[in-house]
Amino acid sequence: MLETIWFAIWGVAWAVYFMLDGFDLGLGTLFPFLAKDEFEKRAVLNSMGPFWDGNEVWLITAGGVTFAAFPTAYAIMFSGLYTPLMLLLFALILRGVVFEFRRQIDSPAWKRVWDTCLVVGSFLPALLLGVAFANIFMGLPLDKDGLFQGNLFTLLNPYGLVGGITFVLVFCVHGAIWLSTRTQGQFQAKAVAMAKKLWIFEALLAVVFLVTTAIYTPLWANVLAKPYWLILPLLAVLGLFGQWFMLSKGRCWRAWFCSSLLILGVTLFGVAGMFPNLLLSSENPAYSVTAFNSASSPLTLKIMLGVVVCFLPIVIAYQTWVYFKFRDVITPESLKEGPSY
């Protein structure tokens, strides 16, 4: 029972991370296409600035849950997938320093350097996360000792690349919608237009992802074995079409919540379809790392569950306060009044 609870916490932590940091990664990827002058660039940065580091708390939470609750899975993942995970880490660091360094020198050349770092530090994590999770859904070449029999290029298979492109595109739409909630006037209209344009490709790619998931992974078979889990892909579909409907009605906040529903539905569908596997072995299902053969001791799981119950509400309350505190739209006047990026 404890193992199942922690598997659910693990999945929810990843889903919330993708929902929150997804708009940051998407906006950074779209940066050169959305922001043309200095006001637009600063508006994009300020739409992310107060939130990005808090959003990454959920990435730390997901990694911490893996380390503390499922140490065997953590060891295999961070040894076998060392190269892509290090690339992910360096890219996230590169993105983080942009918010502090870009404004230090008022020089076009200096700012161009950090603008490029923002794009690279946003696109690369989105792509790597998509490739990694697609391969986890499909199964990794793990032998009986849990050793990864492959390299970075092993992960760049057709389904892995579809997953990577899907993550990038979903995050870009998510980010464009987020920007529309934080701006007004012509710039808001530009963000909405970008979201609508990308939505068409997102919808087409969603069909490709669902079909290839049925071909390459056991997710659909596992979910169909317990039909009540079909609510998760249904929520994703509702979120997808809700994006377009709400954008067409000019209801940007509702469109963003629909986008969040899409991300949560897809992620939790994948997690539910994996259960109880954390790392499925494509070599032999018997070699898979599950929530039961990789879990910490029951005492450890009980203590950590108490910690989560006590402190998670504090984290959620703080983040809610931050989003409420910085809820105002960004205008030229607001960029002059106080600290900005």
Q: Which pLDDT value is given to residue 338?
A: 61
Structure token digits, residue 174:
């998510």
Instruction: Give the gyration radius of the chain's Cα atoms.
Output: 20
CB 34 within 8 A of CB 44: yes
Cα-based distances in Å from 328 to 16, 21, 105, 128, 323: 23, 19, 27, 33, 10
Q: In the 3-class helix/strand/coil scheme, how is 124-178 assigned residue by residue?
A: HHHHHHHHHHHHHHHCECECCCCCECCCHHHHCCHHHHHHHHHHHHHHHHHHHHH
By C-alpha distance, which of 173, 175, 179, 195 is closest to 24? 175
Partners of 279 in beta bridges: 289
- Cβ neighbours, 10 Å, residue 203: 15
- DSSP-H helix ranges across the chain: 2-34, 38-48, 52-55, 57-69, 71-80, 82-101, 108-138, 152-155, 158-182, 185-216, 219-225, 231-248, 252-274, 298-325, 332-337
Phi, psi of 279 (to 5 degrees): -135, 100
Closest by CA to 331, choosing from 42, 30, 12, 97, is 42
The total number of residues written for the chain in this structure = 341
Question: Looking at the DSSP assignment, which residues form a beta bridge with residue 45?
Answer: none
- For residues 85 and 92, the answer to whether their CB atoms sit within 8 Å is no
The DSSP output letter for 290 is: E
**DSSP assignment, residue 226?**
S
pLDDT at 103: 87
Contact 126, 165 (CB under 8 A): no
CA 45 to CA 30: how far, in whole Å?
A: 12
Closest residue by Cα to residue 29 from 169, 205, 183: 169
How confident is the prediction along the chain (341 residues), in pLDDT tens digits per residue?
Answer: 899 999 999 999 999 999 999 999 999 999 999 998 889 999 999 999 899 988 999 999 999 999 999 999 999 888 888 888 899 999 999 999 999 899 888 899 999 999 999 999 999 999 999 999 999 999 999 988 888 888 878 889 999 999 999 999 999 999 999 999 999 999 999 999 999 999 999 999 999 998 999 999 999 999 999 989 999 999 999 999 999 999 999 999 999 999 999 999 999 999 999 999 999 998 888 889 999 998 999 999 999 999 999 988 998 999 999 999 888 898 888 787 666 67
Cβ–Cβ under 8 Å, residues 138 and 167: no
Please tell me what DSSP assigns to residue 329. Answer: P
In the numeric block, the tokens 């700012």 are attached to 111
What lies within 8 Å, CB to CB, of 155 at 6+ separation is 81, 84, 131, 132, 135
* pLDDT at residue 30, rounded to an integer: 97
